[in-house]
């Protein structure tokens, strides 16, 4: 997980450090030349360059690191980090380095700390504890949103497994009525997990299926309703209209966007579309076990400022890991 991004960040840190050290050597040589007494000193060049030669310290100029920051930005883009996020990370570095007096021995630490703070600022959104939230209302309705193939059905089954393991009762609503396969798939999970699945026929009104699942939960005192929704209809506008109707009719208590981390930059546009249409409370980022780049996770959070709640790290029901921003950042920069 994140191996590619980690490698690119490491390369970036090395490049910046080396470039600054190289500039320092060039300036040291210039300094020596300037300090040699000249027969006819027309001006006082020492004064002009003075600020660059504080003893034991070094003032970094923008021109020293411009090209290495550009290289870092390209590396971030190659790691699926979206342009605006890559720019934020590089601008933060520029702000923290340019014009600052930095001792050579501190340089790498300052670069790492700046990267750490930028990533923390992006990833550390206010967390939601699903296990605590679902106890606040009965039945608690969670809507799962996201494009086809993102891992929505799998995520629903995983959350059902998690809630059941904590002693909570669950039912699932087959709200993706656009795909017969989606209903079958949810039924298969339901059979394995021993969780009732509320379904209508293929092509039925999704809002009505979810409404029925909530009624079913009320009648049986079920704690949580996990509702699937369509991931595609004939146009995205229709999909968003359908989701808006589901929300109007059923007033979900939580809306979770399921994002395939392998979709790279596309995932940012998807997240923005769902957020602006129905609003998102949190994200489940899937397929992190097979994703080396990792930039999509950072970019999606930066784009919609909503927390990643869980990450999918395999094919089993138990392969749902609570998202820990500090752990991910530590792993990226160690
Ligand atoms: P949906 O169309 O959004 O409902 O997507 P599915 O839940 O059917 O998932 C699509 C495919 O992705 C399936 O083959 C899943 O097994 C796979 N998948 C889902 N989540 C993960 C994950 O976290 N890791 C891996 N490796 N595969 C996953």
Count, residues in the chain: 334
* pLDDT tens, residue by residue, 142-197: 999 999 999 999 999 999 999 999 999 999 999 999 888 999 999 999 999 999 99
Q: Is 184 in the pocket of ligand 1 (CB under 6 A)?
A: no
Contact 263, 296 (CB under 8 A): yes
Which of 323, 221, 225, 223 lies closest to 282 in space, CA to CA?
Answer: 323
Q: Is 229 in the pocket of ligand 1 (CB under 6 A)?
A: no
Taking CA atoms only, the protein residue closest to ligand 1 atom 9 is: 151
User: Residue 137 and residue 158: Cα distance in Å, rounded?
Assistant: 21
Say if residue 76 is in the same domain as residue 220. Answer: no
Q: Of 75, 94, 123, at which residue does a domain stop? A: 123
Taking CA atoms only, the protein residue closest to ligand 1 atom 19 is: 151
Q: Is 286 in the pocket of ligand 1 (CB under 6 A)?
A: yes
CATH of residue 47's domain is: 1.20.120.140
Centre of ligand 1 to C-alpha 154, Å, is 6
Say if residue 102 is in the same domain as residue 140. Answer: no
Say if residue 305 is in the same domain as residue 160. Answer: yes
CATH of residue 147's domain is: 3.40.50.300
Torsion of CA 257, 258, 264, 268, to 10 degrees: -10
Say if residue 255 is in the same domain as residue 143. Answer: yes
Say if residue 30 is in the same domain as residue 157. Answer: no
Q: Is 207 left (phi over 0), alpha (psi -120 to 50) or beta?
A: alpha
Q: How confident is the model at residue 126 (pLDDT cuts 50, 70, 90)?
A: very high
Q: Of 97, 123, 149, at which residue does a domain stop? A: 123
Say if residue 300 is in the same domain as residue 206. Answer: yes
**Based on the structure, what is the number of domains in the chain?**
2
CA atoms within 13 A on the CB side of 161: 17
Q: Is 150 in the pocket of ligand 1 (CB under 6 A)?
A: yes
Buried b (16+ CB within 10 A) or exposed e, 125-160: beeeebeebbeeeebbbbbbbbbeebbbbbbbbbbb
Say if residue 147 is in the same domain as residue 285. Answer: yes
pTM metric for this prediction:
0.89
Contact 72, 93 (CB under 8 A): yes
Q: How confident is the model at residue 55 (pLDDT cuts 50, 70, 90)?
A: very low
What is the per-residue pLDDT for 277? Answer: 93
Question: How does DSSP classify residue 329?
Answer: H
Say if residue 160 is in the same domain as residue 268. Answer: yes
Centre of ligand 1 to C-alpha 49, Å, is 60
Q: Which two tokens stand for residue 52?
A: 């660059």
Say if residue 92 is in the same domain as residue 157. Answer: no
Say if residue 12 is in the same domain as residue 156. Answer: no
Centre of ligand 1 to C-alpha 260, Å, is 8
Centre of ligand 1 to C-alpha 93, Å, is 36
Q: Of 123, 149, 173, at which residue does a domain stop? A: 123
Contact 32, 56 (CB under 8 A): no
Q: Is 315 in the pocket of ligand 1 (CB under 6 A)?
A: yes
Q: Is the pLDDT of residue 43 over 80?
A: no
Structural domain for 84, as ranges: 3-123
Say if residue 115 is in the same domain as residue 134. Answer: no
Q: Is the pLDDT of residue 37 over 70?
A: no
Say if residue 117 is in the same domain as residue 10. Answer: yes
- Ligand 1, from 145, 148, 152, 154: best to mutate by most atoms within 8 Å of Cβ? 154
């Amino acid at each position: 997980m994140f191996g590619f991004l980690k490698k690119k960040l490491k390369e970036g840190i090395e490049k910046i450090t080396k470039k600054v050290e190289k500039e320092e050597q060039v300036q040291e040589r210039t300094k020596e030349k300037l300090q040699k007494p000249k027969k006819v000193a027309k001006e006082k060049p020492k004064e002009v360059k003075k600020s660059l030669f504080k003893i034991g310290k070094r003032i970094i100029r923008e021109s020293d690191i411009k090209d290495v920051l550009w290289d870092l930005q390209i590396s971030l883009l190659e790691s699926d980090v979206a342009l605006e996020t890559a720019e934020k990370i590089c601008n933060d570095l520029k702000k923290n380095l340019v014009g600052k007096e930095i001792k050579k021995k501190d340089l790498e630490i300052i670069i790492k700390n700046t990267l750490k703070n930028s990533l923390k600022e992006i990833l550390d959104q206010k967390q939601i504890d699903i296990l605590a939230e679902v106890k606040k209302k009965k039945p608690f309705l969670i809507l799962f949103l996201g494009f086809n193939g993102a891992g929505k059905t799998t995520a629903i089954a995983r959350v059902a497994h998690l809630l059941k393991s904590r002693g909570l009762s669950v039912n699932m609503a087959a709200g993706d009525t656009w795909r017969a396969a989606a209903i079958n798939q949810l039924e298969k999970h339901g059979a394995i997990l021993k969780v009732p699945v509320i379904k209508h026929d293929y092509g039925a009104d999704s809002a009505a299926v979810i409404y029925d699942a909530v009624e079913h939960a009320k009648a049986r005192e079920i704690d949580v309703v996990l509702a699937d929704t369509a991931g595609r209809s004939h146009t995205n506008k229709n999909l968003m209209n359908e989701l808006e109707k589901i929300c109007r009719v059923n007033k979900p208590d939580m809306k979770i966007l399921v994002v395939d981390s392998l979709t790279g930059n596309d995932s940012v546009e998807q997240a923005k579309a769902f957020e602006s249409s129905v609003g998102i409370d949190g994200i489940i980022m899937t397929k992190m076990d097979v994703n080396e780049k990792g930039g999509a996770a950072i970019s999606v959070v930066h784009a919609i400022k909503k927390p990643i709640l869980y990450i999918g790290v395999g094919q089993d029901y138990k392969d749902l890991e609570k998202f820990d921003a500090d752990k991910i950042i530590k792993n990226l920069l160690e």
